[in-house]
Structure 1
Amino acid sequence: MRWQRLFEDLEHQLDSEWEAERAALDTEAERLRLSRLTLRERLVELVGLEIAVDVIAADAVRGRLTGVGSDWIAVENTAGSRAAVVPLDAVASIAAAEPDLLRSARPTRSHSALAERMTLGFMLRDLARRRVGVRVVVAGGTSWTGTIDRAGADHVDFALHDAGEPRRASAVTGHRIIGYRALRTVHLDGSAG
């Protein structure tokens, strides 16, 4: 009888050690998985949800996350204005409901190969092609309204004119070359976001 209890105790100890080791391995595997998770992957999970984006050296952008490119996001203002484009490098933090943030740590959506190839330059070239009026905010908080004339590999040529005005030579008050690294937000139609 005494031997039976001894074996049962040893069996329970072995089971406990196995469970502890398995839990430690599971915890380490989860840490490793999270260490490989990118901000972009988490943002893909938040598409369609209300978020607030704190932007480095610029005003926050709040609204519904409508798109995620390879290095930018688009947020539609809940007040009804059009979208703001924010380079991922300008994102300081994202605020969202806790269940959404927790769910975003376990990506389930399939990755769009097209969206992953749509760079900030691609997006800005499209805005230039469409002649969309924008308000750009750069590092330091300076902002200008106008139209993107051209988008290069790492910069845009920007024609300054009043918000809501079509880009006409007579309306242009100046020009700027703006490096992508300086861009904080691009508000479509000169909206405040």
Structure 2
Amino acid sequence: MRWEALFADMEAQLEAARVAELAVDVAELTRAERATVRLGGRLRATRGSAVTFTLRGNETVTGTLVEVADEWVLVSEGIRRALVPIAAVTAVRGMAAGAAPESGGVVRRLGLAHALRAVARDRASVRVSTDGGELAGRIDAVGADHADLAAGVDGRRADGAVWTVPFGAIRVVRSG
């Protein structure tokens, strides 16, 4: 009888050790998997949710995350839209804990230049927040690494002022 209890105790100890080892393995695999998660994956998982982006210069953009691409995100701020370059983001609040797999969609591969060209084609009035301040007008042309903004109301100004803004200086482009 004592031997049966001894063997049962040994079996329970081995099972407890196996469970503990499995828990360590799962934790290590979880850490390794988490290390491969990119910001874009977490942003894709957050699409449709309320988020706050803190940008360089302590500027914030708060709204619903509408679209996610490799170089930019689109946020709905009520009736306005905010195009935020990922390079301008310093922190995000409201992110999903998990990540969504990379989509094969075309939008994901569209760079900031593509997004700004779409805004230029729309001839919409925009406010461009840069590291040097805010500019208002209409995007006239978009190069590989910069955009030309016709300054003033509706992009028209008596002196014909055009600001050339490097992409690296853009914090956010807001509609209207």
1:119 aligns with 2:119: no
| CA distance in structure 2 between the aligned counterparts of 1:119 and 1:74, rounded to whole angstroms | 12
Contact 1:49 1:64 in 2 (8 A): yes
Q: CA deviation at 1:124?
A: 0.6
Contact 1:154 1:179 in 2 (8 A): yes
**Per-residue displacement from partner, 1:137-188 (whole Å, max 9, x unpaired)?**
1125x010011111111111222112xx2x34x5465222211111100011
How large is the Cα RMSD of the aligned pairs? 1.9
Q: Which amino acid aligns with 1:176?
A: W
Match of residue 93 from structure 1: 91
Structure 2 residue runs without a partner (length 5+): none
**Per-residue displacement from partner, 1:111-149 (whole Å, max 9, x unpaired)?**
242122121111011111222211111125x01001111
| CA distance in structure 2 between the aligned counterparts of 1:172 and 1:25, rounded to whole angstroms | 68
| CA distance in structure 2 between the aligned counterparts of 1:120 and 1:187, rounded to whole angstroms | 14
Match of residue 180 from structure 1: 167
Aligned residue-pair number: 176
| CA distance in structure 2 between the aligned counterparts of 1:59 and 1:171, rounded to whole angstroms | 31
Which structure carries more relative contact order (alpha carbon 8 Å, separation 6+)? 1
Q: Which amino acid aligns with 1:114?
A: V
Match of residue 145 from structure 1: 136
Contact 1:159 1:172 in 2 (8 A): no
**Per-residue displacement from partner, 1:35-87 (whole Å, max 9, x unpaired)?**
11111111112212222111121521111111112211111113x3x101111
Q: Which moved more, 1:65-74 or 1:104-113?
A: 104-113
SS in 1 for 2:57: coil
Identity fraction in percent: 32
SS in 2 for 1:48: coil
Q: Which amino acid aligns with 2:18?
A: W
| TM-score, normalising length: structure 1 | 0.83
SS in 1 for 2:91: strand
Change (3 A) 1:152 1:43: same
| TM-score, normalising length: structure 2 | 0.90
| Superposition misfits of 4+ residues, deviation over 6 angstroms | none
| CA distance in structure 1 between the aligned counterparts of 2:159 and 2:121, rounded to whole angstroms | 17
